[in-house]
């Protein structure tokens, strides 16, 4: 692995443990629950979070990714096992992607287009940070709110929650 990606790989591994802890709290019998009619369901949100690492491994190696706005409605999982399997496989795929990335590729520009129009260009390493990592953290925060609304104990994420303390 190239040195510039080593801190990111460590972060991915650390955050995967935290994300798994949150995904483990998703109640299997509430996957279709929504906090609001405009919100996606608990299952859709959990599967979206679980799929972010896999998405990274598929789109980051590309030179350009054409986003289809019609595809922004995440699928609903069939069951809780689908969420856990997607996350485990996705984290492995993201690690493999970073392990195989050359420094030239990491520093190289990546482009995002919508309807044929380029909307973003940034170094691939920045895409890993924003699309994979920051995106994952954003949605994981949403999931913690869903859990709170469902009265599911929210696990420790970066420090104590109202339900748990990392200090025992």
95-122 tens-digit pLDDT: 999 999 999 999 999 999 999 999 999 9
Query: Is 36 within a domain?
Result: yes
pTM of the model: 0.95
Number of independent structural domains in the chain: 1
Nearest partner of 105 among 137, 66, 61, judged by Cα: 61
> Using CA atoms, how far apart are residues 119 and 165, in angstroms rounded to an integer?
42
Query: Is 157 within a domain?
Result: no
Nearest partner of 80 among 42, 54, 137, judged by Cα: 42
CATH number for the domain harbouring residue 32: 1.20.120.450
pLDDT-above-90 percentage for the chain:
93
Strand partners, 114: 67, 117
Beta strand segments in the chain, E: 64-67, 109-114, 117-123
pLDDT, mean of residues 69-78: 86
State pLDDT tens for residues 4-47.
999 999 999 999 999 999 999 999 999 999 999 999 999 999 99
Cβ neighbors of 13 (< 8 A, separation 6 or more) are 95
In the numeric block, the tokens 């690492």 are attached to 53
Query: Is 168 within a domain?
Result: no
């Amino acid at each position: 692995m190239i040195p510039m990606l080593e801190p990111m790989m460590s972060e991915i591994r650390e955050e995967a443990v935290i994300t798994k802890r949150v995904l483990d709290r998703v109640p299997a019998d509430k996957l279709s629950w929504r906090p609001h009619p405009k919100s996606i369901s608990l299952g859709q949100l959990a599967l979206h979070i679980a799929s972010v690492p896999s998405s990274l491994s598929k789109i980051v190696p590309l030179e350009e990714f054409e986003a289809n706005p019609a595809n922004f409605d995440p699928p609903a999982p069939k069951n809780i096992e689908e969420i856990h399997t997607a996350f485990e496989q996705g984290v492995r795929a993201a690690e493999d992607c970073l392990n195989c990335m050359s420094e030239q590729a990491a520093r190289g520009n990546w482009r995002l287009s919508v309807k044929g129009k380029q909307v973003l260009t940034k170094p691939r390493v920045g895409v890993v940070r924003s699309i994979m990592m920051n995106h994952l953290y954003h949605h994981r925060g949403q999931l913690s709110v869903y859990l709170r609304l469902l009265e599911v104990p929210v696990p420790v994420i970066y420090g104590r929650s109202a339900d748990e303390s990392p200090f025992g």
